[in-house]
Amino acid sequence: MSGRDPDAILAELGPDLRAAWARPPRRARIAPWRRGAVLVLALLALVPTALAARDAIWAPEPPPIPTVARPPGAITPTRAGAQVYVASGTERGVAWKLTASACDYGDVRAVGVFLTVPGGGGGARCDVATRTPGAGVSPGALAQRLVQTYFDPVSGRTWAFGALPAGARTVDVSAAGASTTVAAMPADGDAVGKGGLPTGLRVFVAVLDGARHVPLVTVRDDSGAVLLTCRAGRCVPPTTKGAP
């Protein structure tokens, strides 16, 4: 197959396509077999682009949880969306990709995020809710677990990342002896639609040097007001009774 850009191939073949179908049959100068060949070439030229677009959205599932490791009373989601790539970038010279999936438990929607970097990856699934107290998390509690952390032994850095509501604009990540503030970026719109993720979903990725425990993440809106306070990954509005 030609290494040329598909748009360039179509631009070259376009006149033949239009001429082949515009002329009356009795005056056709392009044989039927050639018309078919032109169409096949045009379609083949588009295939790599279509495949690339699909690969840019759909992502591998996070590692499955062994049956023996599942908590008692585990609940099967009423709907489990596909894992999709929602964002990618580079921080301090390290490339990263963030994927997400959404699981519905009745009218409760939980989102799981998973970060991959050259040294590995970490995160959480959205299909691990349980109805047994003390054996895991309820669907409601799982829906509040929006922030995850991962220590990458290769780069020697701690990554904090998560899925946030549409109103999020900045994220303060605080750890002992280190802190940083990053922007909450919009998740890829196509991925949100394909994965059935919450409308307006935003995400963040932050990195801290060394192995760090991240006890506090503060999410702010566009006015700078606190939108969510997150401890141990659990995020709640500051006005919520019993908020951390």
Closest CA to 49 of 6, 88, 13: 6
pLDDT digits (tens, 9 = 90+) for 215-226: 999 999 999 999
pLDDT digits (tens, 9 = 90+) for 82-115: 899 999 999 999 999 999 999 999 999 999 999 9
- pLDDT (0 to 100) of residue 181: 97
Bigger pLDDT: 38 vs 235:
235
pLDDT score of 198 more than 90:
yes
Please, are residues 127 and 80 in contact by the beta-carbon 8 Å criterion?
Answer: yes
Please, how many CA atoms are within 13 Å of residue 76, restricted to the half-sphere of its CB? 0
- pLDDT (0 to 100) of residue 137: 86
Q: Where do the domains of the chain lie?
A: 6-57, 67-236
pLDDT digits (tens, 9 = 90+) for 159-196: 999 999 999 999 999 998 899 999 999 999 999 999 99
Give the Å distances, CA to CA, from 221 to 24, 60, 184, 188, 229: 63, 32, 9, 20, 12
First and final C-alpha spacing in the chain: 58
Rounded distance between C-alpha atoms, residue 137 and residue 234, angstroms? 11
Altogether, the residues listed in the chain come to a count of 244
Ranges 144-158, 176-190, 228-242: which has the least confidence:
228-242
pLDDT digits (tens, 9 = 90+) for 47-69: 333 323 334 565 566 555 555 55
With 0.85 as the threshold, say if the pTM is over it: no
Question: In the chain, what are the helix, strand and coil shares in percent, each to the nearest 5?
Answer: 25, 40, 35
